[in-house]
Structures are given as C-alpha cells and as structure tokens.
Amino acid sequence: MASENMNLTLKIWRQKGANDKGKMVDYQIADVSPDMSFLEMLDVLNEQLINSGDEPVAFDHDCREGICGMCSLYINGEAHGPDRGVTTCQLHMRMFKDGDTITIEPFRATAFPVVKDLIVDRSAFDRIQHAGGFISVNTSGNTIDANAIPVEKHDADKAFEAATCIGCGACVATCKNSSAMLFVGAKVSQFALLPQGQVEATDRVLNMVSQMDEEGFGNCTNTGACEVECPKGISLENIARMNREYLAASLKG
Amino acid sequence: MSGILNSSIGRKFAMALSAFFLMVFLLQHFSINILSVFIPDTFNVVSHFMGTNPLVQYGLQPVLIFGVIFHFVMGFALEIKNRKARQVSYAKNNGGANSAWMSRNMIWSGLAILSFIVLHFIDFWIPEINTKYILGDMTGMHNGEFRYYHELVEKFHDPLRVGAYVIAFVFLALHLLHGFNSAFQSVGANNKYTKGLKRFSKIYAIGIPLGFIFIALFHHFNH
C-alpha cells in the first residue's frame, strides 16, 4: 500500500469505435495520489491527454459511489481490479505502488461489444430483464399494500441480498465462459423468493434463461469466480436456485 | 421439455447427471479392483460375474458407454460454445485470483482422462470383448483357473503403462476435485449440506484415484 504519490505506467485498451480493431497503448502518469479513486486517476490522465492535444480515454461512469455499475473495467486481470466487494470508483490507488504497470481493458464478452475504448454495451442485460425480471401489479385503485403480505424473514433477507445486484457485468467479465448466470440467478431469485413473484415464476425463469442464451453468453461451469469478483457479494446459491426454478418450470411445461 | 437440452441450464443438468452416474461407477470399479490386492480369488469371482452376467453386459455396460460418450461430447460442445462467448481475450487475466486451477481446466483434465480411457479400452475392454464375443470363450478360464487376476497383474509389469495410469489418476483427482461439487450445484443443490459435501468431495476426489494408483503400484512392485 502506497502512502506517497506514485508514478505509474498504464496499458490501456484504445478502440476508436465498435468496428475498429483496437490495441493496447502505454501511458505514463506522474504524481498519482494514493487517496484518489481509480476513476479520478483516469480523469487526471484524460486532462493530461487533452492538454497535450490527444484523444481522452473513453470510460463509463455515473454515480461514482458504487451503485450504478457502469464502469466495466478489467484492471490487472480482474473485474474492477484487485480489491474485493468494490466497483471501479471504489477502488483506490492505494491498492497500487509506485512504479507499477496497470493494465486496463474493457469487460470482454461477445454479448458485451465494445462501443469505444473502455466502454461496452451491456444492453443484453436490459433485454434479459425485459424478458421476465418484473412482477405485474394491479394499480387500478385496489392495490394490496406489499407489506400486508407476510414474507418469512429468511426468504425476505435472501431476496434482498439477490436484489442488491447492480447489473454491472463483473460476473460475465470474470467468468472464463462469459456466463451471465450470476446476474440472471440474482434477478430470478429476488422474485422467486417472494410471494409477489410466484404468479409469473414459470414464465419468468424460462424467458429470462432463453434470452440469456440468445444473447450469446457462455455456460456456467461453477468456477465460482463471479461470486468472488461480484462487488455486491451475490452468492452462487442464486445460480443453484435458478437451476431449480428452471428445471421445475421446464417440467411444468 | 423438448427444448430443455438446448438450453444452457438443461445442458448443465445433463452434464451433472452423467457425472453422478460416472462417479457411482468409479466407486463400484474401485471396490472390485481393490479386491485384487487383498483377496484375488474373490476378485476373480466378481470379475467373472461382471463379465458374464447378462444384466451387467447388456444392460449396464451400454448405459455406461453411453454415459461416458455423452459426458465428453457434451463437455466438448459446451467448451466450444463457451469459447465463442469471448472472442477477444484479455491482454492480462488473473484467473488464479478468484477460482481454482481445477475449475478452469476441466477440459484439459477431461481430455487426459479421455486419453486414458482409450488406453484402458485397448488394455482391457477390447481383449475382453474379443475373448468373449469374437472367440466365444465365456468360461473366464485359462490353464484351468480364472484368468482375470493374471491378466490384471500382467498389465502392470510395464513401468511405462504404470506411469501412464498414475498420471491419468492424478488428472482424474483434479477433475473430481471440481466436478464432484460442481455436479451438485448444477442440479440446484446449494444448501446447508454444501459445506459438509465439499469436505466429503475432497475425500472422494483424492481417495478414489489414490486407491487406483495404489492398486497399480502394488501389482507392479509385488510381481
């Protein structure tokens, strides 16, 4: 862990557009504070590039407080870098030391095509959500208060844990098979565990898994890498639950 | 149900079911082979039963062969699909930071086991089929006594073959160290028993291959 400012070499993926071949480009950056977040360090790099008349590095970000899941950076061979339970904006430069070379790439998956530099298109996740990641609630005036329906504490906790998935795609990026099963498992589980989710349970899991397959994600081989790299600590239990839900739904027809 | 085997989860499930079947078979195979170390006469009797019983020969044997073929064909099919899911690979990937080597290299340990199965078939299965179904000798006898034990011992004279068997069993252990628990996860069993199951899986995954290695080395050095 560094306590003094650092000089770093950055190897960054540069790609002009979706159809460009792209390549790794080396940059030197000096006087990086260990208290900066990783994205702030990239801001400094971009200022440097703009001042020298170069094209800044395109990277995605929104909230910068670990909840939007936009960042999609693969840093030194790991999704969101070497720290655990964090997104890239929560990764601090104190995780690195003076003289380090840091490799920065976009999340890689056929289903997450690169838009530009470090920005990827994760709309495949949106389409999976549209396929079944919802419940239908009658809002015609006699809506039942959700809190009026009893939910077992254990199930409520599990559903809440699953619902903390921010859809960042670190699971896909990390998985050697580019599988989206941790994401889909979490989205299926957050409803499957609640009474409100039962009505559409069969169609939900069948449709979401079908859309996941159609998007070109790979198949889960249970390496568990996704669980380790997930910034929200989504458990593999959710994949097992999705598998059970899917088999039950398939047998039901 | 028709599309279930075309879905990612359906294939996972099928892969797991064939794995369960093969793991049970492995235990049964080991249980018989270990008899050759301690009670060769019983090994001969059980081998003769397994080699001539119609239910085993015409019922279980085809199911086993189908199970083996299904497991590796599906394994290859999934590997190809998974590779297509990432066409541009990372310049730097630190797989060891978040997953076990065994889990990331099932295709390679599987290929090593498949190569071993080919050798094993040439060593034992093809001569057995030849003796029984081509030459028509169903007696199991040679020079007035059961031939099974002698055939087994004879195969382990050659140090190269013993070496190949030992290496194959190391790969089998690596394959099982991930595969055992993975099969349970694939069928949706991840619950309060998972921790205990993981401990048991280590005993099975290391114990069974180690037992097979012991049998091979025992016959090599004892005869």
Query: Is A209 found in the same domain as A169?
Result: yes
What are the pLDDT digits (tens) for A238-248? 999 999 999 99
What are the pLDDT digits (tens) for B96-107? 999 999 999 999
Q: Name which of A100, A118, A231, A250 is nearest A174 in CA terms.
A: A231
Query: Is A226 found in the same domain as A212?
Result: yes
What are the pLDDT digits (tens) for B176-193? 999 999 999 999 999 999
Residue in B with minimal Cα distance to A246: B9
Written as six digits, the tokens of B9 are 């989860």
Predicted TM-score of the model (pTM): 0.95
Rounded to an integer, the average pLDDT of A207-232 is 98
Rounded to an integer, the average pLDDT of B185-205 is 95
Rounded to an integer, the average pLDDT of B55-77 is 96
Query: Is A126 found in the same domain as A112?
Result: no
Q: Name which of A224, A244, A248, A243 is nearest A235 in CA terms.
A: A224
Query: Is A182 found in the same domain as A67?
Result: no
Query: Is A126 found in the same domain as A229?
Result: yes
Which residues from B are below 8 Å from A181, CB to CB? 8
Using pLDDT thresholds of 50, 70 and 90, give the confidence band for residue A252: confident
Q: Which residue has the higher pLDDT, A161 or A140?
A: A161
Q: Which residue segment(s) compose the domain that A37 sits in?
A: 6-116
What is the CATH classification number for the domain harbouring A225? 1.10.1060.10
Written as six digits, the tokens of A106 are 């976009």
Residue-level pLDDT at B87 = 95
Which H helix or E strand runs over B45? helix B40-52
Amino acid type, B19: A
B92, pLDDT greater than 70? yes
Contact status, residue B15 vs residue B186, Cβ threshold 8 Å: yes
What is the CATH classification number for the domain harbouring A37? 3.10.20.30
Residue in A with minimal Cα distance to B93: A77
Which residues from B are below 8 Å from A236, CB to CB? 185, 190
Residue-level pLDDT at A95 = 97
**What ranges do the domains of chain B cover?**
4-82+103-222
Among A74, A243, A250, most B C-beta atoms within 10 A, so best to mutate, is A243
**A59, part of any domain:** yes
Number of domains in chain A: 2
A141, pLDDT greater than 90? no
Shortest Cα distance, chain B CAs vs residue A116, angstroms: 15
ipTM value? 0.93
Shortest Cα distance, chain A CAs vs residue B85, angstroms: 5
Residue-level pLDDT at B111 = 98
Q: Tell me, what DSSP letter sits at residue A37?
A: B
Residue-level pLDDT at B1 = 47
Cβ of residue B97 closer than 8 Å to a chain A Cβ: yes
Separation CA A61–CA B202 (nearest Å): 43
Among B99, B108, B194, most A C-beta atoms within 10 A, so best to mutate, is B99
Q: Which residue has the higher pLDDT, A3 or B72?
A: B72
Using pLDDT thresholds of 50, 70 and 90, give the confidence band for residue B4: confident
